[in-house]
């Protein structure tokens, strides 16, 4: 199964991926996580992506599509995967479709997590993520069991540089201009499954699993 998680910055794509990977037995591929890992390693890709990410802009399609298609070729994706944060433009959606079609594969479903804009800013400005495995937490909504430490791996938690209110607003503008058109694109293709992401983490997880099993 190839599943796409679609939603604005802060909608809960990374958060829901924790439950979905476990319940569906698929790996999560997050374009944002891959860029941050490349930065941590000091790789050329990371340095290139950094200049766009710190401004809240999208990394150019050519670079992003290449990175994702290389990752999709790994053996752990042979049965499918959960794509988090990719595609984010129509160009990326088409690039993905063409690559899958060459292997006689296609996207099965697109889970659209819909959240109101005021809620998105609160979520992003209160988020902490694990430096090691990138699991997201929230100071109020989803705190770790031990302050400053990841429940999953014990890694140190930090705040992303692009989670300031100013850069988060820029990311939301970019989302509405460049990514939101994908909602209609996948709805027309009959692949869109929509959930109300304004509710609590567990409720959203339950609704997502129920919607995907239909
Ligand atoms: P990326 O890392 O993908 O960031 P994003 O899309 O902006 O999404 P976020 O990770 O901010 O939000 P999320 O939906 O995962 O929310 P989360 O679960 O963490 O991308 C970063 C940058 O990389 C981009 O700006 C761009 O520069 C570049 N990039 C990445 N992909 C690209 C692409 N395809 N093309 C080009 N450039 C690309 O949750 C947020 C917070 O809310 C957490 O604190 C969480 O605990 C809390 N929370 C989650 N769900 C709930 C809930 N139901 N109730 C209460 N709190 C909740
Ligand atoms: Mg995320």
Delimit the domains of the chain by residue range.
2-115+191-213
Ligand 2 mean position to 90 CA, how many Å? 20
The residue whose CA has the least distance to atom 20 of ligand 1 is: 32
Q: Is 56 in the pocket of ligand 1 (CB under 6 A)?
A: yes
**For the domain bounded by 2-115+191-213, which CATH number is listed?**
3.40.50.300
Ligand 1 mean position to 120 CA, how many Å? 10
Q: Is 135 in the pocket of ligand 1 (CB under 6 A)?
A: no
Q: What is the pLDDT of residue 159?
A: 96
Characterize 126-157 residue by residue with b for buried, 16 or more Cβ atoms within 10 angstroms of its Cβ, and e for exposed.
bbbbbeeebbbbbeeebebeeeeebeeeebeb
Shortest CA distance to 66 belongs to which of 49, 41, 42? 49
Q: What is the pLDDT of residue 24?
A: 97
Ligand 2 mean position to 129 CA, how many Å? 9
Is 171 annotated as catalytic? yes
Q: What is the pLDDT of residue 206?
A: 98
Ligand 1 mean position to 213 CA, how many Å? 24
Give the ranges where the chain is alpha helix by DSSP (H). Answer: 13-24, 31-40, 44-53, 61-72, 90-102, 117-125, 165-174, 181-188, 201-213
Q: What is the pLDDT of residue 52?
A: 97
Q: Is 13 in the pocket of ligand 1 (CB under 6 A)?
A: yes
The pTM for the full model equals 0.96
Per-residue pLDDT of the chain (214 residues; tens, 9 = 90+): 999 999 999 999 999 999 999 999 999 999 999 999 999 999 999 999 999 999 999 999 999 999 999 999 999 999 999 999 999 999 999 999 999 999 999 999 999 999 999 899 999 999 999 999 999 999 999 999 999 999 999 999 999 999 999 999 999 999 999 999 999 999 999 999 999 999 999 999 999 999 999 8
Is 199 annotated as catalytic? no
Is 88 annotated as catalytic? yes
Q: What is the pLDDT of residue 214?
A: 87
Ligand 1 atom closest to Cα of residue 197: 53
Is 160 annotated as catalytic? yes
Q: Is 32 in the pocket of ligand 1 (CB under 6 A)?
A: yes
The residue whose CA has the least distance to atom 26 of ligand 1 is: 58
Q: Is 195 in the pocket of ligand 1 (CB under 6 A)?
A: no
């Amino acid at each position: 199964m190839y599943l796409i998680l679609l939603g604005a910055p802060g909608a809960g794509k990374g958060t829901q991926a924790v439950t979905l990977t476990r319940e569906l037995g698929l790996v999560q591929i997050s374009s944002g996580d891959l860029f941050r890992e490349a930065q941590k390693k000091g790789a050329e890709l990371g340095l290139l992506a950094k200049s766009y990410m710190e401004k809240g802009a999208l990394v150019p399609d050519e670079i992003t599509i290449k990175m994702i298609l290389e990752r999709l070729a790994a053996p752990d994706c042979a049965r499918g995967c959960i794509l988090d944060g990719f595609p984010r433009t129509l160009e990326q959606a088409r690039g993905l479709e063409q690559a899958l079609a060459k292997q006689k594969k296609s996207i099965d479903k697109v889970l659209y997590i819909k959240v109101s804009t005021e809620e998105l800013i609160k979520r992003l400005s209160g988020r902490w993520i694990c430096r090691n495995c990138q699991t997201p937490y929230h100071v109020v909504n989803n705190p770790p069991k031990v302050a400053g430490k990841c429940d999953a791996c014990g890694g140190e938690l930090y705040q992303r540089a692009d989670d300031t209110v100013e850069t988060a607003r820029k990311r939301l503008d970019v989302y509405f201009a460049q990514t939101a058109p994908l909602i209609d694109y996948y709805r027309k293709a009959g692949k869109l499954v929509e959930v109300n992401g304004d509710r609590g983490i567990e409720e959203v997880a339950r609704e997502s699993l129920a919607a995907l099993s239909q």
